[in-house]
Amino acid sequence: VNTAINSRAEALKLARLLGLDGPESLAYTQQVPASELLDYRNAVTELLYDDDRALLQRMADAASLLPVHTLATVAERALGAPICARLTGLLDPDLAEEISWELSIDFLAEIAAELDPRRAIDVLRSLPPDRTLDIAVAMAAHGEHVAMGRFVAHLGYARLAACVETLTDEDLLRIAFVLEGEERLEELFELVGLERAQCMLDGAESVGLGEEALDLLDHLNARQRKQLLQRSPG
Amino acid sequence: MLAIWPAAKTKPLASTARASRAADGSASPDPMSRAADRLPDPPASFDSEHAAQLTAQTEAALERQRRELALSIDKAFEYIPRPLRGTIRLALER
* Tens place of pLDDT per residue across chain A (234 aa): 577 888 889 999 999 999 998 778 888 888 899 999 999 999 999 999 999 999 999 999 999 999 999 999 999 999 999 999 999 999 999 999 999 999 999 999 999 999 999 888 888 888 899 999 999 999 999 999 999 999 998 999 999 999 999 999 999 999 999 999 878 888 999 999 999 999 999 999 999 999 999 999 998 999 999 888 887 665
> Residue A212 is which amino acid?
E
Q: What are phi and psi of B44, to 5 degrees?
A: -65, -25
From the list B62, B72, B84, the residue facing A83 with the nearest CB is: B72
What's the rounded Cα separation, in Å, for the pair B42 and B58?
A: 10
Q: What is the pLDDT of residue A122?
A: 86
| Range 26-65 of B in CB contact (< 8 A) with A | 28-30, 32-35, 38-40, 42-46, 50, 53-54, 57-58, 60-62, 64-65
Cβ-count burial of A174 within 10 angstroms (0-12 exposed, 13-18 middle, 19+ buried)?
Answer: buried
- Output the CA torsion sign for A36, A20, A136, A128: positive
Residues whose CB is less than 8 angstroms from the CB of residue A173 and which lie 6 or more positions away in sequence, other chains included: A200, A204, A209, A212, A213, A216
Note the ipTM here.
Answer: 0.84
Q: Measure in Å the smallest separation between the Cα of B87 and chain A Cα atoms.
A: 8
Instruction: Look at residues A159, A162, A157, A160 and name the one whose alpha carbon lies nearest to residue A176.
Output: A160
Q: Which residues of chain B have pLDDT under 50?
A: 1-28, 31-32
Count Cα neighbours of A202 within 13 Å in the Cβ-side half-sphere. Answer: 12
The dihedral of CA A101, A103, A105, A107: what is its sign?
negative
Q: What is the pLDDT of residue A34?
A: 92
Q: What's the confidence (pLDDT) of residue A233?
A: 63
Q: Which pLDDT score is estimated for A214?
A: 92
pTM of structure? 0.84
Which residue on chain A is closest to B58 by alpha carbon?
A: A18
